[in-house]
Amino acid sequence: MLVNCAAYEDGRKIADITPDEIGRYLARPGCFVWVALKDPGPGELSALQHQFRLHELAVEDARHGHQRPKIETYGDSLFTVLHVIEEDADGDGELNTGEVAIFAGHNYVLSVRQHSERGFADVRARCEREPHLLRQGPVFVLYALMDSVVDRYFPLFDVLEAELEAIEAHIFQPTNTSKGRLIIEDLYGLKRRLVTLQHACVPLMESVSKLFGAVAPKLCGGMQEYFRDVYDHLQRIVRNIDLLREMVNTAIQVNLGMISLAENETTKRLGAFAALFAVPTMIAGIYGMNFSDIPELKFPYGYPICIVSMVAIDIFLFWRFRKIGWL
């Protein structure tokens, strides 16, 4: 589906155009065309491939999707794949991963968005508000799209960080095995979402590092400082993801330790109650044996002495177990 198609010259938008008019504007000196597609059909992408002379391998990657974040050079053009991560509309905290493939040449930008609901109208508006930068041409649009995608990662990270803090607040509360299991499930779910975010950032950070410095493509000549800024943002979020993953691992170990402590407390209580019942059982078992020569059987006060002994020993054991914290 065609989202937008416009021509720009000298940093300003000159017209909204149809795909059939693209060739005419590409032939104008100092003019470039910006086209945005969403979940395109095969025919749409093939038509634009012919007009922009896109490399067939890059078009195949954009058509089929499921690519890792990357930046590839084809002649004097760049092909970029970014992961667009959004929270699930159901509100269950899960993350959905979409893709945006960007073709950038000296006189065109083509963005192909797949499996992502949020568009880039704000990016187009930002570019049109900054004509002094838009004069840089398609490379500034590539930077603006990349910067927007990376900036969307930070709120997601903040949500995950807040979720970890909420889980940590429950770890040291009195718990049982079932509650501890739920906490571990939440921590593993959090870790899985961190991995999703990490898979979007780490490969992209490696690729963006090639857009500035001595090895930068010629197309990026005037925008190297801006791509370095994107690299710094990615470096910061990757570092924060690594720290948060370590905290999640630590929280899992602490929670398992708390579950073990709770189980130990239960075991101690069961052992204490078993001891309280063991003494009367032992005494009753001895005098319940069918032997005729047990001396105390004929003793007139034997029964009350046994009862008093059982109660006294149990009282002493109960006091002792309470003192050491077993009951």
Residues 281 and 156: their CA atoms lie apart, in Å, by: 62
DSSP code for 39: S
Contact 110, 102 (CB under 8 A): yes
Give the model's pLDDT for residue 297.
Answer: 67
Q: Which residue has the tokens 């065309």?
A: 33
The answer on pLDDT for 31 being more than 70 is yes
What's the length of the chain? 327
The fold of the 1-131 domain, in CATH, is Beta Polymerase; domain 2 (3.30.460)
Give strand pairing partners of 8: 13, 32
CA 113, 107, 132, 215 torsion-angle sign:
positive
Give the model's pLDDT for residue 171.
Answer: 80
Domain range list for the chain? 1-131, 262-323
pTM, two decimals, is 0.80
Residues 102 and 94: their CA atoms lie apart, in Å, by: 26
The answer on pLDDT for 174 being more than 80 is no
What percentage of the chain exceeds 70 in pLDDT? 95
Q: Which residue has the tokens 């109650």?
A: 273
Q: Which one is the CATH code of 262-323: 1.10.260.40, 3.40.50.920, 1.20.58.340, 3.30.420.80?
A: 1.20.58.340
- Contacting residues for 149 by C-beta, under 8 A, at least 6 apart: 82, 83, 84, 100
The answer on pLDDT for 291 being more than 70 is no
Residues 120 and 4: their CA atoms lie apart, in Å, by: 10
Nearest to 312 by CA among 289, 283, 269, 291: 283
Contact 106, 219 (CB under 8 A): yes
203-245: per-residue pLDDT in tens?
999 999 989 886 778 888 788 899 999 999 999 999 999 999 9
| 188, two tokens | 């593993």
Residues 64 and 80: their CA atoms lie apart, in Å, by: 14
How far is C-alpha 149 from the geometric centre of its chain's CA atoms? 15
| 178, two tokens | 């079932």
- Contacting residues for 172 by C-beta, under 8 A, at least 6 apart: 258
- Strands of 2-9's sheet, edge to edge? 12-16, 2-9, 31-38, 108-114, 95-104, 77-87, 70-74
